[in-house]
Amino acid sequence: MTLQKIAIWDAKKVYESLGCDKGGISILSKKSSLHTILIKNMHVGAANILKQDSLSIGADLAVPTGVITAKEKYVDGILIVTTKQLEILSRKELAQPFGLKEFAKNLKEFIPSKKYPTKIMGVLNANEDSFFQNSRFNESDASFRINKMIEDGACIIDIGAVSSRPGSIAVSWEEELQRAKPIIDVIYKEKLFEKAKFSLDSYEPKVLEYALENGFSIVNDITGLANDEVCKVASKYNAQVVIMHMQKDPTVMQENPVYDDLIQEIDDFFKERIEKAKSFGIEDIVLDVGIGFGKTLEHNLKLIKNLEHFKHFGYELLMGASRKSMINKIVETPTEQRLPGTLAIHLESINYGASIIRCHDVKEHYQAIKVQEAINTQEVL
């Protein structure tokens, strides 16, 4: 008899290869996924009940010393559970006092849902002040650049005509449309939208409407649907909408950004904007935590490590850290040399739940992601 520790990435596949009974594979898979969930401001009575209920099903709740004697009225805790135990507790706590009924409803959201295949969103900019020079282009080489990105592995192309880098100044919608229109026209004329999905990185309703009228199907809004008119346009064309979080605006967003509770504040923002989107009839939603948009290096790193938290909304997560300055703050590097750091961030983001990767270097990302997928899907038995 020998022992061998194995890495389980796809639990169902592991148990299938072992030859387990089909009925038991689902049960075993749920027991193989471990979750750690931070609970804040929990009534001490709830903490004691949840502790006992967790232990009774083989899970656990880490709490401060003194909880059993109710030393403090409200405490924080960390729940350590499998997917199966999450399902049990989300039902069991519905009958308990001290706010546990509402807790149970919220806990249910953290039960793992649908897995999305990884998609690459290639970035092309029709403005001369984009922070990465190689992403800039015009209508004369639009078709070539777009076809090359699709050939290299992009299934979404994100077109931008206005820079949103820190300190950038917004332009009029007329100027933005003047920049974007020739590229949009090329995409429509050559029916490139039949080869890939097209997204417009904009928050101007009239510019977005022109794009959606001419083959585009995604609204990538860095303001997170702040403008009702953007919601109306997106709904009119049944567009997919990327809701991004940004603190303040590009002109001042990097001037000492501060959060009392980074994860919770962004969670609250998403909740509010999702409700707003739905009120306009928008259902196809993607969430983007907005790396570098009103965040310090520490904020960005924390968001990457906690990206999985935002999966509880049930929508795809987009990660866009391509060649951003956070890499330079870790290892001093010019924009042109930040591909290795970009790949490191994006591959980790996929591990933490991102399924759409927005990047400048499509070919390199396609290879890296395929290698990662091969490793993660390799049979361990």
Each residue of 166-207: pLDDT tens digit?
A: 766 778 999 999 999 999 999 999 999 999 999 999 999 999
The pTM for the full model equals 0.89
The pLDDT value recorded for residue 136 is: 56
Mean pLDDT of 132-159: 83
Residue type, 181: K
Residue of 167 and 88 predicted with greater confidence: 88
CA 332 vs CA 87, 201, 324, 329, 335: distances in Å? 46, 28, 12, 6, 10
Which of 353, 355, 254, 342 has the alpha carbon at shortest distance from 303? 353
* DSSP result, 276-343: HHHHTT---EEEE--TTSS--HHHHHHHHHTGGGGGGG-SEEEE--TT-HHHHHHS---GGG-HHHHH
Can you tell me the distance from the alpha carbon of 381 to that of 376, in angstroms, rounded to the nearest whole number? Answer: 13
Question: What are the residues whose beta carbons fall under 8 Å from the beta carbon of 368, sequence distance 6 or more?
Answer: 343, 346, 347
Q: How far apart are the C-alpha atoms of 227 and 238, rounded to whole Å?
A: 17
* Residue with the two structure tokens 């009103």: 294
Annotated active-site positions, please? 324, 358
Q: For position 2, what pLDDT does the model report?
A: 44
